Amino acid sequence: KMAEKQEEPSNTQNGEPDNAEEGEEKKKKKLKREDLPPFEIVTGERLPAIFFKFQFRNVEYSSGRNKTFLCYVVETQGRESVTSRGYLEDEHAAAHAEMAFFNTILPKCESSLRYNITWYVSSSPCVTCADRITETLKKNKNLRLTIMVGRLFMWEEPEMQAALKKMKSAGCKLRIMKPQDFEYVWQNFVEPEEGEEAKAFVPWEDIQENFQYYEEKLAEIL
């Protein structure tokens, strides 16, 4: 199973007595994400709405947004087509989500299969990750990668621009997420908020302008 939540610690480890009478449900609610050890790659099928609303906002100045959230769809075409999806999140001090994808979700590409991969990422990759993507695509001609990004990361830096160009020449399609793409992620990768009916996606105020801003920048770079 590709999208498996990693083990979450039990309450006992958090210094709270494990109360046997407590219902399983209650226990699950108690385990907030903060209880996860730091710098762990978290994988799962859906991410909490609060993370999406903050991390995926396509703002120009992304202060405090120092994680990468990567939602992926992998279509594997062989005798049968298989599609899997999920998300990865990282803390920038450890492996970045892009690296984690290649290390954990797709550790090896079978040469007899074709892979169509789409990522929806909160921001574009750093230089190191961009280089890893370029190398992976050059090595695996049977891999197609489209990366939809909310924001461009450090796009003014010449080495960043060079790394993005290399990714493009290796066949990676890099796109800025449009409002419809954010809506797609909301519907397919975000947990419905607790105790509420499935809410429609509410675009933020400057979503369209920011998309256009980044799209222009990306066009200039590439």
Which are the contacts of 201, defined by CB distance < 8 A and separation ≥ 6? 182, 183, 186, 187
Cα 109 off chain centre by: 20
Q: May I ask the CATH class of domain 42-57+65-192+204-221?
A: alpha beta
DSSP line for 39-52 = S--EEES-B-HHHH
Query: Domain residue spans in the chain?
Result: 42-57+65-192+204-221
Nearest to 14 by CA among 35, 38, 39, 37: 35
Question: How far is the C-alpha of 192 from the C-alpha of 53, rounded, in Å?
Answer: 13
pLDDT of residue 181: 94
Answer whether 221's CB lies under 8 Å from 164's CB: yes
Beta-strand ranges (E) seen in the chain are: 42-44, 69-77, 81-89, 114-123, 143-151, 173-176
Active site residues: 98
The whole-chain average pLDDT of the chain stands at 78
Q: What is the pLDDT of residues 149-168, one digit of tens each?
A: 999 989 999 999 999 999 99
Tell me the mean pLDDT in the region 46-68.
64
Tokens linked to 171: 């066949």
108 or 157, higher pLDDT: 157
Residue corresponding to tokens 């939809």: 148
- Report which DSSP code applies to 51: H
pTM value > 0.85: no
